[in-house]
Amino acid sequence: MKNFGFQKMDEMDQQITLRACRAAWVFLVLALFLWEVWELIQGGDTNLPAFLLGTQVVIFCLAHWIGRARAGDDRVKREVVIWIILTAALVLFGVLLALGV
């Protein structure tokens, strides 16, 4: 991989990359949230920004939990159960709203 310009990062490079990824992620979340709010105000279709925002949060959480579980963190199981309960409650609330109950 060195032929392509890839090499093992030292700690400083890892921290810089982590901060850059975090800044890009925050920008993406804010942009999708603002897009969602704008579409709601305009009365338009909000499916795409809501789907993208929800999907990226789920992917981030899953990747974070998998990494922590591989490192041996025992709190991950409890957090996943709480997350599943909250997600089920939000889905139920969304279904009830969609049905007009």
> Cβ of 32: how many Cβ atoms within 10 Å?
20
pLDDT at 23: 92
* pTM across the whole model: 0.60
Smallest Cα–Cα separation from 9: which of 89, 39, 1, 88? 1
Q: What is the mean pLDDT of residues 41-54?
A: 79
pLDDT tier for residue 27 given thresholds of 50, 70 and 90: very high
pLDDT at 76: 84
Q: Do 46 and 36 touch, CB atoms closer than 8 A?
A: yes
Q: Where are the domains of the chain?
A: 9-99
Q: Do 50 and 36 touch, CB atoms closer than 8 A?
A: yes
Q: Do 38 and 21 touch, CB atoms closer than 8 A?
A: no
pLDDT tens-place string over residues 50-77: 888 888 888 888 888 888 888 888 888 8
